[in-house]
Structure 1
Amino acid sequence: MTITSSVQDGILLIRLSGDLIGSPDTQQLLQSVNEHLGESVTNCAVDLSEIRYINSTGIGVLVSLLTKFRSRGGEMILINPADHPKKMLALTKLNNIFSVAPDEAAARQQLVPAAQ
């Protein structure tokens, strides 16, 4: 799995590609997020459009990230989940928990009011 992240306007944007299935990738993802949380970041958008496959460990990491941001008074939005992640979110009923945006611009629009 490839992870890229950037912070803009107080929003952490994470782009993932490949398979979200477990260590060491999930540990790297959590570490990256923890580093950014020290920068007063409370909102996050995770781009899942390039994730081919996600398993229960990957779902658990997304739930963990959501909990981290919400416990800090922020929010996390998933951007355009690919077919398999979308099916897994529906299967686990987590599609009712996560906010989903069709693209980065829509995610930022949803998160900016949350940041003010």
Structure 2
Amino acid sequence: MKYQTELKDNIVFIRLEGDLVAGTDTQQMIDSVDELQQGEVLLCAIDLSNVRFMDSGGMGVLVSLLTRFRNRGGELVLIKPSDHIRKLLIVTKLNAIFTIAENDDFAAQFLKESIY
């Protein structure tokens, strides 16, 4: 899995590509998010549009990140999950706890409204 982080308007955008499975890459991503949270970043948007596959470990990573942000009074949204990932979220009922945005603008608007 590859990932990029971008901080824009106090929102960390994480762009994922490849397979979202628990491992070294995902731990590095979590560590980099933890560092950003130390700087008081409370909002996160994870772009899943280029994720081909996600296993239970990958789902655990998403839930862990959501929990970290909400525990600090923040929020996290998922941006445009692929059809395969969207189906997994529905089957596992994780679609009930995650907000899904269709693009960066909607994600940013939702996140800003969620803390004000």
Q: Can you list the C-alpha shifts for 1:11-50, whole angstroms capped at 9, x where unaligned?
A: 1110000000121121111111111111110010000000
State the TM-score, normalizing by the size of structure 1: 0.96
1:79 maps to 79
1:49 maps to 49
Deviation at 1:115, TM superposition (A): 3.7
Whichever residue aligns with residue 47 of structure 1, its letter is: D
Structure 1 residue ranges, 4+ long, deviating more than 6 angstroms after superposition: none
1:63 maps to 63
State the TM-score, normalizing by the size of structure 2: 0.96
CA distance in 2, matches of 1:110, 1:41: 15
Deviation at 1:114, TM superposition (A): 2.4
2:98 maps to 98
1:114 maps to 114
1:16 maps to 16
Number of residue equivalences:
116
Identity fraction in percent: 48
CA distance in 2, matches of 1:110, 1:22: 28
Unaligned segments of structure 1, at least 5 residues:
none
